[in-house]
Structure 1
Amino acid sequence: MTGAGTLEEEGVVTALIDARARVRTQRKSACGQCAVHGACGTSLLERFFGRRPVELLALNQVGARVGDRVTVGVKESSLLAAAVAAYLAPLAALMAGAALGQSFGGARADSASLLGAVLGFTLALLWLRGYSARLSGRPEQQPRILRRLGSTSAGCVAAPSAVADDPA
């Protein structure tokens, strides 16, 4: 899976779950890479909300252990298909439902349009739930750990409950 067509990110394994590992990565920003240098909406949102870590389940075919720094990869085509499904399908269903409601609503076209939009959006979300479940059963569509990079110190990946029990 390495090579062209794969997006890679470094992270730390925080837990092992069967043949998968929970990996925490730090969300990267494109700020500083373009001519605007932090004056765009993306940088404003990042400053307001902060950069929180992202956690994902990845296939652990390299035998990574908790605390290991790893490189996680996902196929670009898988990510693109998931993004289209997550963004385009609900939007298209919402607009189609609104248009159908407007067309068949008669004297109450506005109300029917609103109802059609809500119904279309709801149906798209239900479809998206099934689509996501089908993808989760296909290993070729899953993120996977490509390689181990080394270990971090045990303090860096302490469980939240261990931190909460600390009397200090």
Structure 2
Amino acid sequence: MIEEQGHVIALIGDCARISATRRSACGQCQVNTACGTSLLARVFGRQPVELLAQNPIGAQIGDTVIVGLSEQGLLRTAAAAYLVPLLGLISGAWLGEHFGGAHAELITVLGAVGGLVLAFGWLRGYSVALAQRPDYQPVILRRLTPSVTVTLTELH
């Protein structure tokens, strides 16, 4: 299980909207001042990411929580996001070159674009299907700090 710390900013039914700050492994690398990833992180800053997570522990707004995501789900999603468009592009280009005839270059380019468009269409359907599966959803694992609820009578 991959874990990340975040803050509950809203409750939506049985789920919670979590705000988390992106972190990278740049602080632990020997060449963190010279690599492109570190440079981009410094230029663009660390923007918070919002995600919707299952809330089985009943976390409340303001709680600091640990959110988990299965490694298998992350790996499958990443593989699909990177490999499927690449395979669609290459396959479409190969088909265009193979069956292009007299205008092979033009048909190759059109085949590559068509393969990429089909791959993105498949990827969209795949992501919608995965969004319905609870084992691929982030889940709040534990609460780090409880929310502070102050009433008006306690302020006087």
Whether TM exceeds 0.5 here: the answer is yes
Q: Distance in 2 between matches of 1:92 and 1:33?
A: 34
Q: Which has the larger radius of gyration?
A: 2
User: Percent same amino acid among aligned pairs?
Assistant: 57
CA gap 1:153/1:98 in 2 versus in 1, 3 angstroms: farther
Q: Distance in 2 between matches of 1:151 and 1:109?
A: 64
What is the aligned partner in structure 1 of residue 26 from structure 2?
31
Determine if contact 2:60/2:147 at 8 Å carries over to the other structure: no
What is the aligned partner in structure 2 of residue 118 from structure 1?
113
Of the three residues 75, 86, 100, the one matched with 1:80 is 75
CA gap 1:144/1:37 in 2 versus in 1, 3 angstroms: same
Q: Which runs of 5+ in 1 are unaligned?
A: 1-5, 155-168
Determine if contact 1:32/1:38 at 8 Å carries over to the other structure: no
Poorly superposed stretches of 4+, deviation over 3 Å:
151-154
What is the aligned partner in structure 2 of residue 17 from structure 1?
12
Q: Distance in 2 between matches of 1:37 and 1:48?
A: 14
SS at match of 2:86: helix
Q: Would you say how many aligned residue pairs link Structure 1 and Structure 2?
A: 149
RMSD: 1.3
- Mapping 1:48-59, distance limit 5 Å: 48-59=43-54
What is the aligned partner in structure 2 of residue 44 from structure 1?
39
What is the aligned partner in structure 1 of residue 139 from structure 2?
144
SS at match of 1:23: strand
Q: TM-score, normalised by structure 2?
A: 0.91
Q: TM-score, normalised by structure 1?
A: 0.85
Post-superposition Cα deviations, 1:103-128, rounded to whole Å, max 9, x if no partner, equal 11111111111111111111111111
Q: Which runs of 5+ in 2 are unaligned?
A: 150-156
Q: Distance in 2 between matches of 1:65 and 1:152?
A: 6
What is the aligned partner in structure 2 of residue 163 from structure 1?
none
